[in-house]
Structure 1
């Protein structure tokens, strides 16, 4: 599926979720259907469902609680339409990569200074999981994104984390559009280098590796 086709499918999912909220099927505070239920109901990929949900979470329409599910935020329904207008823009791959280089590059510098043993261990687990799931596209992408999120969280800066959450769906879409199995091995090596530099406390080199990784990941 091309990136434009994936976006169109995801827009359909967003429209479906929006309609459920607007017609009162899901009221503020209600739990929405699970990813598996929505995938089966709409006959779309789980990635498209997750992309749509992540975007709705990012703009404040939905909220997710680990182990509990995803819920409609308890705010006036009139806010939803305005927030949904920000979901789909024409951000190019180049703009997305530039944004990520700025944010994630500097995040590497901060993370290197503020790294904890627990965070390092979580990143190592994500890296191992990436290595073990090279032949499983969706599992690999999930672990890849989790690795990057861990770096962001380690900065301790909530604004950085939230700014990246807003575009996380676009990042996942880029992964699906550009990444192929033969590129996963290269991605693993870049993540290994980034992790090594973070473990050494070398934020400058970690940022350099992150920049090269992001540029490489956007190549067709």
Structure 2
């Protein structure tokens, strides 16, 4: 990962940009430990202080988490997602309420604006979701489920809404995992009603379908507080 330039001015910013790129492109995945400080010094061709400043900046932005004695780990893929994780923490209710706000509106717009190609993609994702559930491949199930919900928002063709939702990728996946653990029937939720509403360009039904299972999850949390 050599630096394209080695000018002294802005050297820390260059290192931050390269490390952020490794995170956003998935080279460094969420939850994984990044290379050690000596490894980064060698790979980037800069001094220890420069690496430390870059790590400190990315940790402050919420993308990295420094664990004393254990290393530095990727916490989020964007500043927005990192901020949401700090604000919501482990409060599943907060995450679900934010999801409902974004995904219900995304579903309403998707019913009007989706393309045939996006409809086909949504159909394939639900088929893959069913396959993962049947094979009890729960990590794959969570990823596909998250991809399905994000594609619905993308199909809204509202770029800002899609970018906001993308920034919540990690907390959305975490909320799906938490629902699976807390509610035995969560993995049986069928999103075909939402798919068919989007297929039929029925915005009102899409809103009901998108908000329905999240409302049920919120009711469950109210009845079964931690």
TM-score when normalising by structure 1: 0.62
Question: Alpha carbons of 1:95 and 1:36: their partners in 2 closer, same or farther (altered >3 Å)?
Answer: closer
Question: Alpha carbons of 1:173 and 1:33: their partners in 2 closer, same or farther (altered >3 Å)?
Answer: closer
Q: CA deviation at 1:101?
A: 1.4
Summarize deviations over 1:70-104 as a string: whole Å, max 9, x none.
xxxxxx94863552273522353222222221211
Summarize deviations over 1:162-201 as a string: whole Å, max 9, x none.
11122221111122222159535522x2x11100111011
Q: Which runs of 5+ in 1 are unaligned?
A: 1-21, 39-45, 54-75
Contact 1:108 1:207 in 2 (8 A): yes
Q: CA deviation at 1:155?
A: 1.1
Helix, strand or coil for the counterpart of 1:89?
helix
- Over the aligned positions, Cα root-mean-square deviation in angstroms equals 3.6
Q: Which residue matches 1:194?
A: 194
Which structure would you say has the larger Rg? 2
Which whole-Å CA distance do the structure 2 matches of 1:123 and 1:149 have between them?
A: 10
Question: Alpha carbons of 1:47 and 1:197: their partners in 2 closer, same or farther (altered >3 Å)?
Answer: same
Q: CA deviation at 1:37?
A: 8.7
Q: Which residue matches 1:207?
A: 207
Q: Which residue matches 1:157?
A: 158
Summarize deviations over 1:20-66 as a string: whole Å, max 9, x none.
xx999x6633664899996xxxxxxx7734xx99xxxxxxxxxxxxx
Q: Which residue matches 2:109?
A: 110
Q: Which 4+ runs in 1 deviate beyond 3 A?
A: 30-38, 46-49, 76-82, 216-220
Q: Which runs of 5+ in 2 are unaligned?
A: 1-10, 35-52, 63-81, 222-226
Which whole-Å CA distance do the structure 1 matches of 2:27 and 2:201 have between them?
A: 44
Given candidates 58, 71, 74, the residue that maps to 1:80 is 58
- Which structure exhibits the higher relative contact order, with contacts defined as CA atoms closer than 8 Å and separated by 6 or more residues? 1
Contact 2:197 2:205 in 1 (8 A): yes
Which whole-Å CA distance do the structure 2 matches of 1:185 and 1:213 have between them?
A: 11
Which whole-Å CA distance do the structure 2 matches of 1:205 and 1:130 have between them?
A: 22
Q: Which residue matches 1:137?
A: 138
State yes or no: 1:168 paired with 2:151.
Answer: no
